[in-house]
Amino acid sequence: MKRAFPILAVLILAFLGYTAYEALVVAPTEQTMGNVQRIFYYHVPSAWTAFLLFLINFVASIVYLIRRNPAADMIALVSAEVGVVFCTVVLVTGPLWARPVWGIWWTWDVRLTSTLVLWLIYLSYLMLRRFSTSGQTPVLAAALAIFGALDVPLVYFSIRIFRTQHPQPVIGGGGSIDPRMLHVLLINWAAFLGLATLFCWARYRLEYMRREIEETQALEALLEPRGSR
Amino acid sequence: MRFLYAAYIATWIIHLSYAGILLRRYDRLKNEAAELEK
């Protein structure tokens, strides 16, 4: 297992290099927007990856609330943290795409605002986990995660339900996409999923290690003779 | 083109920063574990 991680990391980094080349060089140039449309190959897969991670967080939180399983709690924490990283990418690349295409960095329409709210909800989830000293923190966090997950379908379906500045979905939304563009989009998503897996794996191991150290420290404090402090 | 490059560079800065945070946490935990073993 110890050797598997660096091997996987190298493979995924090489794949990310290849998919970046595909996105920047191989994918056809979009006729209306030109080269700036290539932001699409990072913006959309990052959003899909974040949604998937928040979904994992939602399922793990429910499992934790039902079974009080520490592994489910760790999975919930890890998926939320990595999800926030990918959601940050969405919120940064979005305005960088909007400025040359719409002429504005940001507009308070439903898609953009609900994405920002989603990011803030999971940021508050992470802050709760980081700073709360209550023994009930995992339970409170799991409850918050369940409410937070309600925002995910709102973000996803907002462009179908409401009239927004954001373009309609190119897949499953009645739009069309060049098959070469679709190929580049999907391989970039695969690469980002690989990166997310690496991050989750490393973060899970760190969380496991942290909990072991805390348990050992607590045990040592208990076993320490009373007069020795 | 500058917006395109800015978006790609920003994405990698975010990912590399997070990888850096994970590495720093790992170092700190490794030191704590070593302290405990003493």
Q: Which residue has the higher pLDDT, A3 or A121?
A: A121
H/E/C letters for each residue in A110-161?
HHHHHHHHHHHHHHHHHHHHHHCCCCCHHHHHHHHHHHHHCHHHHHHHHHHH
pLDDT tens digit string along A12-44? Answer: 999 999 999 999 999 999 888 999 999 999 999
Residue in chain A lying closest to B34 (CA)? A213
Residue in chain A lying closest to B30 (CA)? A209
Counts for chain A of helices (H) and strands (E), in that order: 7, 0
Residue numbers in A near B5 (CB within 8 A): none
Calculate the alpha carbon distances from A70 to A48, A75, A187, A221 in Å. 27, 9, 34, 22
Quote the pTM value.
0.91
Q: Give the closest-approach CA distance of B9 to chain A in angstroms.
A: 10
Looking at residues A133-159, what average pLDDT do you find? 86
ipTM of the complex model: 0.94
Domain map (residue ranges) of chain A: 4-224
DSSP classification of residue A1: -
Residue numbers in A near B26 (CB within 8 A): 202, 206, 209
Out of A36, A89, A206, the one facing B25 most closely (by C-beta) is A206
Q: Which residue has the higher pLDDT, A155 or A100?
A: A100
Out of B10, B22, B32, the one facing A203 most closely (by C-beta) is B22
pLDDT tens digit string along A78-115? Answer: 999 999 999 999 999 999 999 999 899 998 988 899 89
